[in-house]
Chain A
Amino acid sequence: MIGPVLTGRRLLFVTGKGGVGKTTVAAGLALMLAEQGKTVLACEIDAKGDLSAAYEIPPVGFDPVKVTSSLSVMAMDTEASLREYLRLNLKIPIMGRIGPLAAAFDFVATAAPGVREILTVGKICWEVRERHYDVVVVDAPASGHIISQLAAPDAIAELVRIGPIRNQSQWMAEILNNPQATGVVVATTAEEMPIAETIELTQRLEQETSVEVAGIVVNRVLPERFGPREAAAFAALNSDTHRAWIDEHLPEGAPAVLEATRLATQLRRHRSRHLDVLRREMDPSVPLYYLPELFTRAEGLRMTRQVATHLAEELG
């Protein structure tokens, strides 16, 4: 890694395999940065409403909505982004969502690969370039799709040799490819498939883009509660040999408690094995951060706050 630690950068793309808590990590990271006194824009790309759910606010649109005095949230909308782009850069005023433009845009975006990606990443880079916020945190698409977004400026530069979109793709690439400014944060869990995908993604990012990985956040790490002696004692207790003792001395529902303990121990053991694979395969200069499994009653703002607190400790 060449750039500064994650918290020193101005544009952070949080990605990861589906189901690892990518949105929770992005929401917690943005909240943590805002609580450190920075002005932060959190931007959801997929527009599925997961990011607003993490802050327990109604679904947001293209216009940023303030969650706190220093944290704003928006959802990407490529058509709105195109309209803003035309208004700001080409001085073409477009009123409302007019049919012909929408049709033309859909056509261009379908026919010309990379246009949609350029508008998405373009809007984000523009917010960074204009310094409207100290930091922009992007709840980026899952692993496979982030590559085509981050590689879009280079891809467009290959396909388009002149014109405004080429110029745009150049200054975008300058921001994205600068490790002082931009970093990718890969969220994962310590499970087999997410770890394999994280390793593959970091390799692909290096080969197919010039954007730097600023850190890996391992989510849902289970607490290690047993030392070796306790583990051995528990394994003995949970074997058939002591069934009679359990029936006699422990309360009626104890087998379910033993089963829960066995399951928790087993999961912990599996996850730590997968973590070893990650530590072995990753470039040692990429920092790994750990977030514990959160035993909260619901997912939402409370969970986001806890993630922010744990991230602050990890990054502190």
Chain B
Amino acid sequence: MASRDLLSLLETKEIIITCGPGGVGKTTTAAAAAAITAAREGGRVLVLTVDPARRLADALGVAGIGNDVVAVDPALFAEAGMEARGSLSAAMLDTKKSWDELIARHAPSEETRDRILSNPLYTSLTTRFVQSHDYIAMERLYELHATGEWDLIVVDTPPTRNALDFLDAPARMADFFSSRLLRWLIMPSRSGFLGIASKGFAQVADRILGRQFLADITEFFGSLESMYEGFVERSQAVRRLLSDERTAFVVVSSSELVPLREATFFVEQLATRNFLLACVVLNRVLPRSLADSSATEASLKISQDSDHLAEQLGAELKVDVNVAKRVLATMGESFTDLSVIAHREAAARANFSLGSASMVEVPLFDEDIHDLRGLLRLGEFLIAKD
């Protein structure tokens, strides 16, 4: 079987989707993977992010990052000390704008389009409520892929409540639009027979929401009716693209218990859906030397011998012996503290089941990543061979 290390994925796949718990450096990892591929492998590479921090946009030198694709200036690679063989571009997901474009594309007439765009339910659905992120992110990926302009698209997934909603979104969308309930709601006269489901629904919905709200919903989905087929067809195509062999998933996590538990959930869910989980990236791994027995012994000796060592150290550094003593004591404490965490995290990593995916460990950086140089440095760790 072909190796599934991250480098070979970046060389061969057309779409790489990073997913994982929040707060583990997922967006930065996606951008770094795209940047190092553009620099080292060549080709046209695009990173699609959902909610980039301003820092990331700054690092890519594309402050005005928006729904449109923006090219990263090749001069930035040169400044970062690496001549780029290919090109890097970035795009951000603007949920509202993407929905508007989708409606415009599928609407049979300008009148229908305007009626939907001005419906209060539509505005609320596309801006205020988060679920709409999920579908539109995958829809936008499909669009960008279909242009055929990119050798590789690296996608940073949206922060969803149920972390995998976005994977099911195309299927849910298709189910939703082809559901009997929706048909009944919009065409009660045509469906004739009112099943028990419809009755239950009418009773519940009517008593909770009131008639007027129901009427609003009916009108809204009535206007969408002309677009059902387009929607269903498209969401099925999006779903096919996600399970295509040209697409691979990368789970990003840290070594802490809660993120790792969530990462495990991702690994399992990707397998259930027959998506290709190719690689797990573990960020912020503490130095291995913290678990070294010789280092542990050294830290003990430094603490125990601090009186004796302090005199010599004071003389060497030309500082007060008490200052030297506190330096030595702190060295011992710092090592012990970090080593407790390193052991805790190593144990958590050992319990983490990867399935058949490979694992990449990225060390904890003691600097925040502010520029392309930082992204490329992270990228080097991502593609490093053991």
A residues whose Cβ falls under 8 Å from a Cβ of B: 17-20, 23, 46, 48-50, 53, 86, 90, 92, 98-101, 103-105, 107-108, 110-115, 117, 141-142, 144-145, 148, 151, 155, 158-166, 192-194, 196, 225-227, 229-230, 233-234, 236-237, 242, 245, 249-261, 263-267, 270, 293, 295-299
Which residues 131-179 of B have a CB within 8 angstroms of A?
Answer: 131, 159, 161-162, 172, 176, 179
> Please, which residue of chain B has its CB at the minimum distance from the CB of A191?
B368
Residues in B4-39 with C-beta less than 8 Å from chain A: 21-24
Within 8 Å CB of A141, what residues of B? 161
Distance of A46 Cα from B259 Cα, bound (Å)? 14
Q: Judge whether A23 and B258 touch: CB under 8 Å.
A: yes
Q: Give per-residue flags for B323-364: 1 if the beta carbon is below 8 A from chain A beta carbons, else 0.
A: 110110011111111111101100100000000000000001
How distant is A10 from chain B, measured CB to nearest CB, in Å? 25
In the complex, B221 has a CB within 8 A of chain A: yes
Taking a contact as CB atoms closer than 8 A, the residue among B51, B254, B286, B298 that contacts A257 in the complex is B298
Q: How many A-B residue pairs have CB under 8 A?
A: 266
Report the bound CA distance from A295 to B172 in whole Å.
44
Q: Judging by beta carbons under 8 Å apart, are A193 and B201 in contact?
A: no
A225→B77 CA distance, assembly (Å): 39
> Is A237 within 8 A of B317, CB to CB?
yes
Q: Is the CB of A19 within 8 A of B209?
A: no
Question: CB-CB < 8 A to B176: which residues of A?
Answer: 107, 110
Q: Which of A160, A196, A237 contacts B213 (CB 8 A)?
A: A160
Q: Chain A residues near B385 (CB, 8 Å)?
A: none
Among listed B63-71, B107-115, B120-128, interface-contacting one? B120-128
CA distance A237 to B317 in the complex (A): 7
Name the prevailing secondary structure of the B interface residues. helix
Q: How far is the CA of A112 from the CA of B200 in the complex (A)?
A: 17
Q: Per a CB cutoff under 8 Å, which of B217, B256, B327 touches A233?
A: B327
- A266-B366, A267-B366 are contacts. A100–B201 as well, Cβ < 8 Å? yes
CB-CB under 8 A for A108 and B208, given A18-B159, A230-B327, A234-B327: yes
Check if B196 is an interface residue, CB within 8 A of chain A.
yes
Known A48-B261, A90-B207; 7 more pairs at CB < 8 Å: A107-B179, A108-B201, A110-B176, A225-B333, A229-B319, A251-B294, A263-B366
Residue contacts A-B, CB under 8 angstroms, 21 given = A19-B21, A19-B256, A46-B161, A50-B261, A92-B203, A98-B200, A108-B204, A141-B161, A163-B207, A164-B208, A165-B210, A196-B54, A245-B312, A253-B295, A256-B289, A257-B335, A259-B287, A263-B338, A264-B334, A298-B257, A299-B257
A226 to B330, CA, bound (A): 8
**Which residues does B use to contact A, with CB under 8 Å?**
21-24, 51, 53-55, 120-121, 124-125, 128-131, 159, 161-162, 172, 176, 179, 181-182, 195-197, 199-201, 203-205, 207-213, 216-217, 221, 254, 256-259, 261-262, 265, 286-287, 289-290, 292-299, 301-302, 309, 312-313, 316-317, 319-320, 323-324, 326-327, 330-341, 343-344, 347, 364, 366-368
Q: Tell me, in angstroms, the Cα distance from A103 to B331 when the chains sit together.
A: 61
Known A-B contacts A159-B124, A260-B335; the reply to A270 vs B366 at CB < 8 A is yes
* B contact residues around A265 at 8 Å (CB): 334
Please measure, in the bound complex, the distance between the C-alpha atom of A151 and the C-alpha atom of B292, giving whole angstroms.
Answer: 51
A295 to B336, CA, bound (A): 9
The answer to whether B256 touches A299, judged by C-beta atoms less than 8 angstroms apart, is yes
CA distance A161 to B172 in the complex (A): 29
CB distance from B95 to the nearest CB of A (A): 11
Bound-state CA distance A68–B160 (Å) is 33
From the candidates B121, B259, B298, B331, name the one contacting A252 in the complex (CB within 8 A).
Answer: B298
User: Among the listed A101, A107, A270, A296, which residue makes an inter-chain contact with B344, where contact means beta carbons less than 8 Å apart?
Assistant: A296
User: Is A19 a contact of B309 with CB atoms below 8 Å?
Assistant: no
Instruction: Give Cα A111 to B182, complex, Å.
Output: 9
Which residue from chain B places its CB closest to the CB of A165 in the assembled complex? B208
Q: Complex: how many Å from CA A297 to CA B339?
A: 10
Chain A residue at minimum C-beta to C-beta distance from B211: A163
- Interface centre among A164, A236, A249, A250, by most chain B C-beta atoms within 10 angstroms, is A250
CB distance from A279 to the nearest CB of B (A): 18
Provided the pairs A19-B23, A229-B323, A256-B292 are in contact, do residues A299 and B213 lie with their beta carbons within 8 angstroms? no
Closest to A160 in B: B213
CB <8 Å contact, B159 and A142: yes
Given contacts A160-B209, A236-B317, A256-B295, contact A114 B330 (CB under 8 A): no
Question: How far does the Cβ of A281 sit from chain B's closest Cβ, in whole Å?
Answer: 14
B209 touches A165 (CB 8 A): yes
In the complex, the chain B residue whose C-beta lies closest to that of A142 is B22
Contacts A113-B125, A144-B159, A267-B366; is A17 near B23 (CB within 8 Å)? yes
Q: Are B294 and A252 neighbours in the complex by a CB distance under 8 Å?
A: yes
Q: How far is the CA of A251 from the CA of B199 in the complex (A)?
A: 80
B117 to chain A, nearest CB (A): 16
Which 5 pairs, one residue from A and one from B, show the smallest C-beta to C-beta distance? A18-B22, A19-B23, A163-B210, A104-B201, A253-B298
Are A260 and B21 interface neighbours, CB within 8 A?
no
CB contact between A295 and one of B316, B324, B341, B364 (< 8 Å): that residue: B341
- Checking A104, A110, A164, A293 against B197 with a beta-carbon cut-off of 8 angstroms, the contacting residue is A104
Residues of A within 8 A of B181 (CB): 103-104, 107
Distance between Cα atoms of A259 and B286 in the complex (Å): 11
CB-based contact A230/B326 at 8 Å: yes
Using Cβ atoms and an 8 Å threshold, which residues of chain B touch A110? 131, 172, 176
Question: Given A19-B254, A194-B23, A299-B256, are A233 and B319 neighbors across the interface (CB < 8 Å)?
Answer: yes
